[in-house]
Chain A
Amino acid sequence: MLVVSVAVMSPSGLVFVPAGIVLAVALAASEPSWSRVAVLLASAAIMYALGWILPVVWPNGLTATIGIACGYLIRFVAAFGVGAHLVATTSPTRLSAGLRAWRIPRAIAVTLAVMLRFFPVVASTSAAVLDAMRLRGLVGARGFVRHPVLSIERFTVPMIAASLRASEDLSASTILRGLGSRRTPVTLDPPRFGWPDAALALAVAALAAISMVLPSPLAEGIP
């Protein structure tokens, strides 16, 4: 995931985007999570349509601006797609065991594992805050257009307050159980680099190579 993020986000990263999206879709299909496959394909298609086709078909200032924005956002589609697979399939224990096996420094490994653990908390809190806003009539296109800053504030403040409260319990309990301490952890089930991992690594390398050799469909079009 880190490799993909760095690749697609780098200045000349657009060449890797099609490969990243192919990888993300393949990972989603392997779970299988068909809804994510659909979302990824649809958002990539929309980004492509708005970013590459629209400015050519109907060139003016507005479509050019949208085109540049979408040219940038399509990188996120690839990065988020691969990231979502990690969040959906990997438990924090397995992630930290894996990072430990790679001799990644503990500070980074613990931070990444905690982030991974925290995604579902943020997701469920956000869903609950949105529910509460809907019942108070605070969600709606009209309200958002009229008071965009206020709407965002009304969402973020309770979201952060509730997430922080949940995080306090979590960090108290994990620190007491030795997470991030100076002791050397011993993994119960050590991760093995098996043939599926090898196949995945080969596939990623192949996709990257193809991206560099073949002409990119996204290369022209960006003004």
Chain B
Amino acid sequence: MIEIGGVTWTYPHADHPALRGLDLSIARGELVALCGASGSGKSTALRLINGLVPHFHDDGVLTGTVTVDGVVTTDVELDALGSITGTVLQHPGRQFFTDSVREETAFAMENLGFARELTRDRVDRTVARLATWMPPDQPLRHLSGGQQQQVAIASATAHEPRVVLLDEPSSNLSPDAVARLIGALGQLKSAGVTIVVAEHRLRYLEGLVDRVIVMRDGAVDAVWSAAEFRGVSDADLAREGLRGEVRSADLPSAPATGPSIEAGTGAGEVPAGEVPAGALELDAVRCHLGGRTVLDISRAVLRAGEVTAIRGRNGAGKSTLARVITGLQRSSGVVGLDGRELSRGARQRASAIVMQDVQRQLFTESVEAEIRLACTDAAGDLDTSAVLASLDLDALAQRHPLSLSGGQQQRLVVAAARVAGRRIVVFDEPSSGVDRRHLQSISNEIRRVAADGAVVILISHDDDLLALAADRGITLVSPGELQATPSAATTDAQTMKETR
């Protein structure tokens, strides 16, 4: 079905090839997992199969041939390859073109010119199969990460391609959403579709996968059959930089009460006299957006020097809580630090957020200037070069921040927050799509910020990261929501629509 013969590919303006002499043959109906550390070339291999390599990147250099279902990918245009392949990119939310489940599912069939009746019938069936219980006219941006993933799969498969490609589909999913992903993959497989999944986490694929291909430096490093893969130990996976079991992080609860706190997770009240020094306190914090209560916390205490995880489904108020704490969002109630009430402005000056898209928060033309900018709002003048050396960034001092890798950018933002002496530091989904080694280094960064004495808040779905980096946890629910079932989500969405 898929034949990759001796392919070497260099991205435009890159120094080294991303793929070096890759040879791969995938049979019809096979489910193959491509894995390997970040930069091993697994995503590039997927882009080779759907033709984004080389068609989407002008001036890249390709040698070797790729054949998909008898079609040589360099001979045809992208829409021809798009009609025999279906692709789900890593961030489903970013690939949506339309506003609703139904429109998005129909998008490829409309553009590829399928007959209207056929499209209508296929869309209805695909939505019923993969995106059940989601109201078909629900705005896509209001769906949870797992629901967006289901819609992305529906949208990539409604035109019934013979090959389906998924790039790290589990990276932003909670465990129950991973279960739904397994269901969707199983359906596709039993329909005879050839499936290639690029992944860091592998264990969830154990019952489905026919072959696991480990990549390293742009070539195949090891191949495990399904039986061999079941016998591979967690230590072997670790050596390849791969994540093993999805760990479940059982964290002790942070003291928190109120309608926004999931029943049974808050650790109750902390008497006013017993609040530890430096802690962040929330009292009667309520936030309304668009006529709806999105956050309602009676009381919560987050300790300094500890990492508190904030968990909960999309729309449960996690980012709202972070924005209230950092002073970016108005709310009623009192937010205090170290026993003193802080105004919104004071909280903005005391806080930092490490965003999921870190390039949104790099403002200067060099790494050194970025640190110097952070120093200007620190108490005294600091020796920039010494700071850079201590953060292991001195080799990069003159580089433009936007030219760094994602991991380096993240480290720079964390460094700026530490240099500026911020006492509240929020990490927003810092580990989406990283391999095992990077997971460890991110976790070390987070721990170091906490060791400086800051109140650290970690918003994440990634149980692997939470198990490594978090000390306590709070699970949020949307206030007024009775239970976390699909029907509750539907009613919730309907109310939201009515109030809009």
Contacts and interface: CB of A to CB of B under 8 A. Distances in A.
Chains A and B come from one and the same complex: yes
Interface of A: 91-93, 117, 120, 125, 128-129, 131-138, 154, 157-159, 161-162, 165-166, 169-170, 172-179, 181-188, 190
A165 B94 CA distance: 10
B108 A132 contact: no
Given A129-B361, A158-B360, A169-B91, A177 B111 contact: yes
Closest 10 CB pairs of A and B: A178-B111, A181-B79, A173-B95, A132-B361, A177-B108, A176-B82, A91-B99, A169-B94, A154-B363, A183-B113
Nearest to B114: A186
Interface in B350-406: 351-353, 355, 357, 359-364, 373-374, 377, 402
B456 interface: no
A181 B111 contact: yes
Nearest to A187: B110
Contacts, number: 156
A117 B355 CA distance: 23
Interface in B311-366: 323, 326, 328, 348-349, 351-353, 355, 357, 359-364
A182 to B, nearest CB: 8
Chain A binding site: helix, strand, loop or mixed by DSSP?
Answer: helix
A23 B62 CA distance: 55
Contacts of B351: 135
A137 B363 CA distance: 12
B138 to A, nearest CB: 13
Contacts of B119: 186, 188
Given A133-B363, A137-B377, A165-B357, A175 B56 contact: yes
Given A117-B97, A166-B94, A176 B87 contact: yes
A184 B111 CA distance: 7
A134 B348 contact: yes
A173 B357 CA distance: 19
B355 A132 contact: yes
B328 A176 contact: no
Interface residues of B, number: 62
7 contacts: A133-B363, A135-B352, A174-B97, A176-B85, A177-B82, A182-B77, A186-B109
A161 B363 CA distance: 11
A158 B362 contact: yes
A128 B112 CA distance: 36
Contacts of B402: 157, 161
Interface of B: 50-52, 56, 77-79, 81-83, 85, 87, 89-91, 94-95, 97-100, 102-103, 106-116, 119-120, 123, 141, 155-156, 323, 326, 328, 348-349, 351-353, 355, 357, 359-364, 373-374, 377, 402, 416, 420
A168 B402 CA distance: 16
Contacts of B91: 169
A59 B119 CA distance: 65
A181 B106 CA distance: 16
Contacts of B90: 169
- Chain A CB count within 10 A is highest, among B78, B156, B351, for B78
A132 B97 contact: no
Nearest to A167: B94
Contacts of B106: 93, 188
Contact of B359 (A93, A131, A162): A162
Contacts of A176: 50-52, 78-79, 81-82, 85, 87
A173 B360 CA distance: 23
A94 to B, nearest CB: 8
A178 B82 contact: yes
A160 to B, nearest CB: 10
B191 to A, nearest CB: 20
A170 B95 contact: yes
Nearest to B102: A188
Contacts of A175: 56, 78-79, 82
A135 B100 CA distance: 34
B98 A172 contact: no
A169 B328 contact: no
- Chain A CB count within 10 A is highest, among B85, B90, B107, B374, for B107
Contact of A125 (B50, B85, B348, B360): B360
A131 B416 CA distance: 16
B89 A169 contact: yes
B73 to A, nearest CB: 12
A134 B327 CA distance: 9
Contact of A165 (B85, B108, B359): B359
Given A157-B402, A186-B119, 9 more contacts: A91-B98, A92-B98, A135-B348, A154-B364, A173-B97, A176-B52, A177-B82, A186-B114, A186-B115
Contacts of A133: 363
